[in-house]
């Protein structure tokens, strides 16, 4: 039997001329993520209605709660535009919420079909009274109710009382593709998630220094990339062998600059790959002042070889806020697995905090790393992660 | 997995199994499937096999553990308790001391134990836990050669000392401890006026079948052994005891009440047979091991930058088990080197992990020997066994020299 979800798109409602295009993308993305489950999606101003077989409800709710562009959704009862069926549906909803332990409610009516004989206020009052009679454990609270019984009278009548939050943001594909520098740490997956919510398809690049870092560390990054697909729908992970670049830096650069040189080389490699795959900007998990290489001066230097922007959505967050987000999106546990993504022998004990941009860029240029970076790009291993692989 | 032929140099972690013995013992224990505690014939059959395994292991440990083992002080002075591991065998004496302290006036506050700083975590972590529970703990450091001096142990003793634990052979460096002299010192202190008897526990897991060690010759109260270090199955250990002990974990009262739980007949049979086999021709095998040790140590010293830990160790030195060699490759984390060797088909171990945390903490055993953190961080353990050959050492040395040259940072 089919059930119905009422879907509330969010930010796309603020768009003017392009709203149809954003809606089209959201519907396309929902269908792709739900595939091979077949669904019917009806589009109305400000609302989508999704019909799906009841046995697929769990998967459907997972998709709806992870798909960027959705503010929220609710399992909804569909009925004829007559008082009696609307009352039955409202009572059933209230009884379900009461059974969950909810204690207070209010009724909200939206009547876009003005031909319905009862006015919004009148209908809400009548239904409220009936609910109070039927469910003595409930009371009315119009200011801070535990739940709202919502009635929408449109082409048909819709009754719902849940409001499951969606991820908000913009539908995947409505912004340009981005390339995420994905380490095995806590921050970069969160940065990827945040940009996925801005509607960008995300691809990931990871730099490993095998054998100085372990295969387990690479597997951890693969797991993180897969976890990200819950939000961005699909991703590719480019694994670059960066040992030779790192060794060259260790040999030729002053020790205190080695981390900055290494990060500059990663940015350069990511910039080249971004151009090749059509990504319009890089994404990193950098947060201002978190570590020595994340000062404004260091960021200016490490991005200096690029002619595309670097998005750093976590730049103003502290660690606790980032950890909170990582926990919410399900990457924290993976990120804290004990596999280092950088060997301690490559980390200088006293890294340079505030490099001079000109001197730093000139030092970086003098290292002549481009051939090694090209070599690393040629040796990259590419992995695809699909939405269907999760959950 | 690399496609290269495996060169196994991690015998101190676990030895390759004595497959034939294990199969025979499995068949035997399947035939005698009864519970050794059952009164019927099937149970008696299992009990009889178990007791045979017990007495043959005890007999072997006390009387026939290769050259250098002293004649027994008196016959069959100790008994064997089969356990689930070497670790469990180490835990029992420490927990016995705890139980006994809990039942006495003054409780744990009047209980003092002494352990060496180089003990395996089976002893060290357990001792640290007892300290958290209120027992007084003294940790005795070894000298730079990795050996614990009997004098230092003597100095650590006090009238409240109830237990001293010093291992026979260190699992990371191969340093052989002077358990004979330490045992004497402990016994003398325990026999002094107003003193109470002190348990002297020896973790002999790395000694069994490798170097001469007999618990009976060293004033030892208890000694722990593990089957899988001598070709036996994992999940079986043995505790040899010559003093009464009390269990902290109780149940059906098997193994003299010290290790409750239905006995692992297969494990006990396999352990006793593998231990006997491991001790065959120990003279000859030791001589062979010394030859391999010499090639290995001399070969490593020829690799520019590489060091043997401790640096004072010379080939043929009786103060070290020839089967275990620890070497440092500065500028390369031990974990990284072990990984790179693994890609070449060579299995070795490392105690240090490549992380910031570990770099600061360094390594407990090497640290206690005052080995600089950079060396400890870059150390690997090479350990071999009965079937290791000279050309294995040659292959190890050639691969190691090449890898170190390429990977050194």
Q: Residue A271 pLDDT > 80, yes or no?
A: yes
The shortest C-alpha distance from A251 to chain B (Å) reads 8
How much of chain B, in percent, has pLDDT values that exceed 90?
80
DSSP reduced 3-state for A379: coil
- For chain B, which residues make up each domain, given as ranges? 7-15+281-407, 32-278
For residue B131, give both structure tokens.
């300290």
Answer yes or no: do B409 and A247 touch at CB < 8 A. yes
Sorted by sequence, the CB contacts under 8 Å of residue B242 that are 6+ apart come out as B77, B78, B79, B215, B216, B220, B221, B222
Q: Residue A18 pLDDT > 90, yes or no?
A: no
For residue A161, give both structure tokens.
């009382």
Query: Which residues of chain A lie closer than 8 angstroms to B331, CB-CB?
Result: 345
Tell me which of 3.40.50.1100, 2.30.110.10, 3.90.1150.10, 1.10.3430.10 is the CATH number of domain B7-15+281-407: 3.90.1150.10
Mean of pLDDT values over B134-139: 97
Tell me which of 2.40.160.10, 3.40.120.10, 3.30.450.20, 3.30.2130.30 is the CATH number of domain A2-167: 3.30.2130.30
Q: Are strands A157-160 and A70-79 parallel, antiparallel or unpaired?
A: antiparallel
Indicate which of A218, A262, A345 best probes the interface with B, i.e. most B CBs within 10 Å of its own CB: A345
Q: Please, which pLDDT band fits residue A246 given cuts at 50, 70 and 90?
A: very high
* Euclidean distance between CA atoms B156 and A221, whole angstroms: 50
Q: Please, which pLDDT band fits residue B197 given cuts at 50, 70 and 90?
A: confident
Q: Locate all alpha helices (DSSP H) within chain A, ordered by sequence.
A: 19-34, 57-66, 83-99, 120-134, 187-196, 215-232, 243-252, 258-277, 296-302, 319-329, 332-335, 357-367, 370-378
Closest-CA residue of chain A to B358: A344
User: What is the average pLDDT score of chain A?
Assistant: 93
Compute how many other C-beta atoms are within 10 angstroms of the C-beta atom of residue B55.
14
User: What does B322-391 look like in DSSP terms, one character per residue?
Assistant: TTEEEEE-TTS-HHHHHHHHHHTTEE-B-S--SSHHHHHH--HHHHHTT--HHHHHTEEEEE--TT--HH
Indicate which of A220, A246, A344 best probes the interface with B, i.e. most B CBs within 10 Å of its own CB: A344
Say if residue B105 is exposed, middle or buried (CB neighbours under 10 Å; 0-12, 13-18, 19+). Answer: exposed
Q: Residue A77 pLDDT > 60, yes or no?
A: yes
Task: Nearest by CB to A250, from B340, B358, B409: name it.
Answer: B409
Answer yes or no: do A344 and B356 touch at CB < 8 A. yes
Instruction: Give CA separation, B171 vs B12, B18, B272, in Å.
Output: 7, 21, 22
- Least Cα distance to B354 among A216, A185, A212 occurs for A212
Closest-CA residue of chain A to B357: A344
How much of chain A, in percent, has pLDDT values that exceed 90?
81
* Euclidean distance between CA atoms B128 and A356, whole angstroms: 50
Mean of pLDDT values over B259-265: 96
Query: Which residues of chain A lie closer than 8 angstroms to B409, CB-CB?
Result: 212, 247, 250, 345-346
Q: Please, which pLDDT band fits residue B262 given cuts at 50, 70 and 90?
A: very high
Query: Residues of chain A whose C-beta is under 8 A from some C-beta in B?
Result: 211-214, 247, 250, 338, 340, 343-347
Query: Which residues of chain A lie closer than 8 angstroms to B336, CB-CB?
Result: 211-212, 343, 345
Please, which contacts does B17-24 make with residues 24 or more away whose CB atoms are closer than 8 Å?
A: B17/B228, B17/B231, B17/B232, B17/B233, B18/B231, B18/B232, B18/B270, B18/B273, B18/B274, B18/B277, B21/B231, B21/B232, B21/B270, B21/B273, B21/B274, B21/B277, B22/B232, B22/B233, B22/B270, B24/B273
Closest-CA residue of chain B to A215: B339
Task: Nearest by CB to B409, from A213, A214, A345: name it.
Answer: A345
Q: Which of A109-118, A190-199, B10-19, B286-295 has the lowest mean pLDDT?
A: A109-118
* Euclidean distance between CA atoms B315 and B177, whole angstroms: 17
The 10s digit of each residue's pLDDT in B339-358 is: 999 999 999 998 644 444 44
Answer yes or no: do B354 and A338 touch at CB < 8 A. no
Closest-CA residue of chain A to B403: A211
pLDDT at B1: 52
* Euclidean distance between CA atoms B279 and B282, whole angstroms: 5
The shortest C-alpha distance from A211 to chain B (Å) reads 6
For residue B392, give both structure tokens.
């294995």
Q: Are strands A234-241 and B112-116 parallel, antiparallel or unpaired?
A: unpaired
For residue A297, give both structure tokens.
């001066």
pLDDT at B356: 42
Q: Residue A365 pLDDT > 90, yes or no?
A: yes
pLDDT at B362: 52
Mean of pLDDT values over B158-171: 95
B354 catalytically annotated: yes
What is the CA B340 to chain-centroid distance, rounded? 27
Q: Please, which pLDDT band fits residue B194 given cuts at 50, 70 and 90?
A: low
pLDDT at B63: 65
pLDDT at A185: 92
Q: Who wins on pLDDT, B189 or A307?
A: A307
| CATH tag, B32-278 | 3.40.640.10
Answer yes or no: do A212 and B331 touch at CB < 8 A. no
Q: Residue B105 pLDDT > 90, yes or no?
A: no
For residue B83, give both structure tokens.
């356990």
Q: Which of A261-270, B271-280, B322-331 has the lowest mean pLDDT?
A: B271-280
* Euclidean distance between CA atoms B186 and B166, whole angstroms: 11
Answer yes or no: do B333 and A346 touch at CB < 8 A. no
Mean of pLDDT values over A54-70: 94
pLDDT at B68: 45
The 10s digit of each residue's pLDDT in B277-288 is: 988 888 899 999
pLDDT at B324: 97
Query: Which residues of chain B lie closer than 8 angstroms to A212, CB-CB?
Result: 333, 336, 354, 407, 409
* Euclidean distance between CA atoms A311 and A285, whole angstroms: 9
Answer yes or no: do A212 and B333 touch at CB < 8 A. yes
Instruction: Tell me whether domains B7-15+281-407 and B32-278 share a fold.
Output: no
The shortest C-alpha distance from B359 to chain A (Å) reads 8
pLDDT at B359: 44
pLDDT at B360: 45
User: What is the average pLDDT score of chain B?
Assistant: 91
pLDDT at B64: 54
The 10s digit of each residue's pLDDT in A137-148 is: 999 999 999 999
Compute how many other C-beta atoms are within 10 angstroms of the C-beta atom of residue B82.
27
Task: Nearest by CB to A214, from B339, B356, B407: name it.
Answer: B339
State the pTM of this model. 0.83
For residue A190, give both structure tokens.
């969160």
Query: Which residues of chain B lie closer than 8 angstroms to A213, CB-CB?
Result: 354
Closest-CA residue of chain A to B408: A247
Q: Which of A217-226, B158-167, B322-331, B345-354 has the lowest mean pLDDT?
A: B345-354
For residue A376, give both structure tokens.
């690393």
* Euclidean distance between CA atoms B51 and B53, whole angstroms: 5
Query: Which residues of chain A lie closer than 8 angstroms to B343, CB-CB?
Result: 211
Q: What is the ipTM of this complex?
A: 0.73
Q: Please, which pLDDT band fits residue A36 given cuts at 50, 70 and 90?
A: confident
Query: Which residues of chain B lie closer than 8 angstroms to A338, CB-CB?
Result: 355
Mean of pLDDT values over A375-384: 96
Using an 8 Å Cβ cutoff, are A224 and A359 in contact? no
Task: Nearest by CB to B333, from A247, A250, A344: name it.
Answer: A344
pLDDT at B352: 47
Mean of pLDDT values over B357-383: 82
What is the CA A291 to chain-centroid distance, rounded? 25
Compute how many other C-beta atoms are within 10 angstroms of the C-beta atom of residue B155.
13
Query: Residues of chain B whose C-beta is under 8 A from some C-beta in A?
Result: 331-333, 335-336, 339-340, 343, 354-356, 358-359, 407, 409
Using an 8 Å Cβ cutoff, are B364 and B121 in contact? no
Establish whether the linkage from the previous residue to A211 is cis, with ω within 30° of 0: yes
Q: Are strands A234-241 and A381-386 parallel, antiparallel or unpaired?
A: antiparallel
The shortest C-alpha distance from B347 to chain A (Å) reads 15
Indicate which of A209, A340, A342 best probes the interface with B, i.e. most B CBs within 10 Å of its own CB: A340
Using an 8 Å Cβ cutoff, are B208 and B232 in contact? no
Say if residue B71 is exposed, middle or buried (CB neighbours under 10 Å; 0-12, 13-18, 19+). Answer: exposed
Which regions of chain A carry the CATH code 3.30.2130.30?
A: 2-167
Q: Which of A300-314, B236-250, B339-353 has the lowest mean pLDDT?
A: B339-353
User: What does A266-278 look like in DSSP terms, one character per residue?
Assistant: HHHHHHHHHHHHT
The shortest C-alpha distance from B348 to chain A (Å) reads 15
Which of B111, B274, B312, B354 is the catalytic position?
B354
**Helices and strands in chain A: count of H runs, count of E runs:** 13, 15
The shortest C-alpha distance from A202 to chain B (Å) reads 30
- Least Cα distance to B364 among B81, B101, B98, B172 occurs for B172
CATH fold for the domain made of A178-389: Rossmann fold (3.40.50)
* Euclidean distance between CA atoms A2 and A143, whole angstroms: 34
Mean of pLDDT values over A274-281: 98
């Amino acid at each position: 039997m089919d059930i119905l979800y009422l879907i509330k798109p969010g930010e796309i409602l603020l768009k003017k001329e392009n709203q149809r295009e954003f809606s089209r993308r959201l519907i396309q993305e929902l269908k792709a993520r739900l595939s091979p489950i077949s669904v019917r999606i009806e589009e109305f101003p400000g609302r989508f209605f999704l019909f799906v077989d009841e046995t697929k409800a769990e998967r459907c709710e997972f998709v709806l709660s992870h798909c960027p562009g959705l503010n929220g959704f609710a399992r909804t009862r569909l009925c004829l535009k007559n008082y009696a069926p609307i009352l039955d549906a409202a009572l059933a909803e209230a009884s379900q919420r009461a059974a969950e332990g909810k204690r207070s409610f209010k009724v909200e009516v939206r009547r876009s079909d003005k031909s319905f004989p009862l006015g919004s206020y009148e209908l809400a009052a009548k239904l409220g009274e009936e609910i109070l009679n039927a469910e003595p454990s409930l009371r009315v609270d119009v200011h801070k109710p535990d739940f709202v019984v919502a009635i929408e009278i449109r082409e048909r009548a819709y009754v719902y009382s849940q409001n499951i939050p969606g991820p908000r943001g913009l539908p995947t594909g409505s912004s340009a593709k981005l390339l995420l520098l994905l380490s095995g740490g806590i921050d970069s997956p969160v940065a990827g998630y945040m940009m996925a919510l801005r509607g960008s398809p995300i691809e990931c690049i990871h730099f490993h220094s095998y054998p100085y870092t372990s295969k387990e560390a690479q597997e951890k990054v693969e797991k993180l990339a897969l976890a990200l697909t819950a939000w961005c729908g699909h991703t590719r992970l480019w694994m670059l062998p960066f040992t030779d670049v790192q060794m060259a830096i260790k040999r030729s650069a002053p020790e205190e600059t080695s981390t900055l040189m290494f990060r500059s080389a990663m940015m350069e490699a990511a910039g080249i790959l971004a151009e090749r795959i059509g990504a319009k900007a890089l994404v990193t998990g950098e947060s201002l002042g978190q570590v020595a290489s994340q000062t404004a001066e260091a960021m200016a230097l490490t991005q200096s070889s690029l002619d595309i922007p670097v998005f750093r959505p976590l730049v103003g967050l502290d660690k606790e806020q980032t950890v909170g987000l990582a926990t919410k999106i399900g990457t924290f546990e993976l990120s804290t697995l004990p596999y280092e993504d950088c060997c301690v022998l490559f980390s200088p004990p006293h890294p340079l905090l505030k490099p001079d941009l000109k001197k730093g860029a000139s030092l970086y240029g003098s290292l002549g790393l481009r051939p090694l970076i090209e070599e690393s790009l040629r040796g990259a291993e590419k992995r695809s992660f699909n939405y269907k692989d999760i959950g | 997995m690399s496609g290269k032929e495996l060169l196994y140099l991690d015998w101190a972690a676990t030895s390759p199994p004595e497959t034939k013995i294990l199969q025979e013992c499995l068949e035997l224990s399947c035939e005698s499937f009864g519970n050794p505690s059952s009164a019927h014939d099937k149970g008696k059959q299992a009990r009889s096999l178990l007791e045979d395994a017990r007495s043959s292991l005890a007999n072997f440990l006390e009387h026939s553990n290769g050259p250098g083992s002293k004649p027994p002080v008196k016959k069959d002075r100790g008994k064997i308790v089969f356990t689930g591991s070497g670790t469990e065998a180490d835990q029992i004496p420490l927990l016995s001391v705890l139980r006994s302290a809990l039942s006495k006036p003054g409780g744990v506050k009047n209980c003092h134990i002494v352990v060496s700083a180089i003990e395996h975590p089976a002893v060290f972590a357990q001792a640290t836990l007892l300290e958290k529970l209120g027992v007084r703990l003294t940790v005795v450091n070894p000298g730079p050669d990795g050996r614990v001096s009997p004098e230092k142990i003597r100095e650590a003793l006090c009238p409240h000392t109830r237990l001293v634990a010093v291992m026979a052979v260190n699992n990371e460096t191969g340093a052989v401890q002077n358990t004979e002299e330490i045992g004497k010192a402990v016994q003398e202190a325990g026999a002094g006026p107003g003193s109470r008897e002190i348990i002297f526990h020896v973790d002999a897991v790395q000694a069994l079948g490798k170097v001469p060690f007999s618990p009976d010759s060293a004033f030892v109260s208890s000694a722990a052994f593990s089957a899988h270090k001598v070709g036996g199955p994992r999940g079986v250990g043995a505790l040899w005891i010559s003093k009464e002990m009390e269990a902290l974990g109780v149940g059906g009262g098997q193994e003299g009440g010290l290790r409750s739980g239905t006995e692992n007949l297969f494990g006990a049979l396999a352990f006793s047979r593998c231990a006997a086999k491991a001790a065959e021709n120990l003279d000859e095998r030791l001589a062979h091991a010394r030859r391999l040790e010499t090639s290995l140590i001399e070969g490593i010293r020829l690799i520019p930058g590489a060091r043997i830990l401790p640096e004072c160790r010379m080939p043929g030195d009786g103060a070290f088990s020839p089967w275990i060699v620890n070497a440092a490759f500065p500028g390369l984390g031990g974990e990284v080197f072990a990984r790179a060797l693994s890609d070449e088909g060579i299995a070795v171990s490392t105690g240090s992990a490549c992380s910031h945390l570990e770099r600061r903490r360094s390594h407990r055993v090497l640290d206690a020997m005052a080995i600089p953190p950079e060396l400890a961080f870059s150390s690997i353990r090479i350990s071999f066994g009965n079937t290791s050959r000279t050309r294995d050492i040659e292959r190890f040395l050639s691969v190691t020299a090449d890898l170190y040259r390429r990977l050194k940072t």
